[in-house]
Structure 1
Amino acid sequence: MKTLTILRHAKSGWDVQVERDFDRPINKRGARGAEIIGQWLKRQKLPVDRIVASPAVRVTETLDIFQPAAGLDAIEPHWDRRIYLASAATLIDVIRDTGHDADNLLISGHNPGLEDLILMLVPESDGDALRAKVEEKLPTSALARLELDIGDWHDLDTGMARFTDFIRPRDLDPALAPAMDED
């Protein structure tokens, strides 16, 4: 069995002038969201063996805060440019390229690709409250954790995942809602 943890980057700093979207940093609310989600992951004692992430500034800054808070600072992320603004289909290809040696993979990147990825991997079923929350929106710094009955990431396909966890910054600190839900 494999677990896939999906972490959307923290809230972007739109007040900062940048030439390229790729270079947009996170803001103070984003930093707080990344920190409390990392702390939550650590409290839950959920394992992560490998991190694959977009090299965009807002993702690298998110992980710079999230990883120490989660107790994952010993893991060096693999920066994969394909993740930057990727479609769900491209994200599936990135995950498949991971191989079989990591049982607990964390991928960090952007919407709408990450939201679409979750909705592609988790089949629709009556009463799935976690999937319904993602259908509503995958906000910044949100973390989703999925289980898959596969032995190798090459075997990843649509409709085969089960939700185990979904947490948003506002679930842990109401002061981070609702403005936190913007890009």
Structure 2
Amino acid sequence: MKQIYLLRHAKSEWDEPYDSDLERTLSRRGKEQSKALREYLKESRFEFDQCLVSPAERTQKTYTALRKEILRFPKPELREGIYDADKEDLLFLIHGLSSSVRSVCLVGHNPGLEDLGSSLLFGETVTSKFQKFPTASFLGLSFSGDSWKDITWGSCQLAVYWIPGQIGKE
């Protein structure tokens, strides 16, 4: 069995000028979201064998906030391809994972993460089936196969869906 965790970065800062979108960091609200997510994940005992993170400042800061107190989480691996990825790009990335990896966390952006999660659960869709996939959302999917290459649209089951400020579904 394989586990895929999708984590959308916490709320980013829009009030400050940045030379590029990659440089935008977390807002005060984003830092609060990261803290709430960290508390949830600390209690939930989720584990990842590998964590792939977009090179954007806000994704790195989100994951760093989690690892601050959750030492069981692996060091992040920055992957440039996550930054502007669509669901096909992200699925290609998943297909390339080593067979020894049992669980992976992707820390990235919308609409790519939301579209990926929706399509892995419900099949290839034109629009997301999620009513809401806000910043700092955490989605866990299970795949009953043994190979990452066998994951296709509609082949996963929901394991967890947590939204900041709400009770998560497990």
TM-score, normalized by length of structure 2? Answer: 0.90
Equivalent in the alignment of 2:24: 24
Shift of 1:98: 1.3
Equivalent in the alignment of 1:114: 113
- Secondary structure of 1:14's counterpart equals coil
CA contact (8 A) 1:36 1:69 kept: no
Shift of 1:29: 1.0
Moved over 3 A (4+): 69-73
Equivalent in the alignment of 2:40: 40
Shift of 1:40: 0.9
Q: Distance in 2 between matches of 1:171 and 1:69?
A: 22
Please give the residue correspondences for 1:73-88 in structure 2 after superposition, counting only pairs within 5 Å. 73=73, 75-88=74-87
Paired amino acid for 1:123? F
Q: Distance in 2 between matches of 1:70 and 1:37?
A: 11
Q: Distance in 2 between matches of 1:51 and 1:70?
A: 13
Structure 1 residue ranges without an equivalent (≥5): 125-132, 173-183
1:142 corresponds to 2:137: yes
Q: Distance in 2 between matches of 1:52 and 1:87?
A: 15
RMSD of aligned C-alpha atoms? Answer: 1.6
Which structure shows the higher helix fraction? 1
Aligned residues: 163
Shift of 1:134: 5.9
- Secondary structure of 1:94's counterpart equals helix
Structure 2 residue ranges without an equivalent (≥5): none
Q: Distance in 1 between matches of 2:154 and 2:84?
A: 22
Shift of 1:145: 0.5
State percent identity of aligned pairs. Answer: 28
Equivalent in the alignment of 1:98: 97
Q: Distance in 2 between matches of 1:72 and 1:27?
A: 26
Q: Which moved more, 1:15-24 or 1:31-40?
A: 31-40
Equivalent in the alignment of 1:176: none
- Secondary structure of 2:33's counterpart equals helix
> Which one of the candidate residues 145, 160, 168 is aligned to 2:155?
160
CA contact (8 A) 2:47 2:72 kept: no
TM-score, normalized by length of structure 1? Answer: 0.84
Question: 1:117-170 deviations in whole A, cap 9, x for unaligned?
Answer: 01110027xxxxxxxx96212100010001001212122211100001100111
Q: Distance in 2 between matches of 1:113 and 1:24?
A: 18
Paired amino acid for 2:142? E
CA contact (8 A) 1:145 1:165 kept: yes
